[in-house]
Amino acid sequence: NSKLRHVEKDVLIPQIMREKAKELCSDHVQAFTKCCKETGLLMVVKCRQENTALKDCLVSYYRDPAFYEECKAEYLKQREEYRATGIKKIKKKLPSNV
Q: How far is CA 93 from the centre of its chain?
A: 12
Task: Say if residue 71's pLDDT is above 90.
Answer: yes
pLDDT tens readout for residues 21-60: 999 999 999 999 999 999 988 888 999 999 999 999 999 9
Answer for the pair 47, 54: CB distance below 8 angstroms, yes or no.
Answer: no
Global pTM reads 0.78
Task: Say if residue 68's pLDDT is above 60.
Answer: yes
- Better-scored residue on pLDDT, 73 or 93: 73
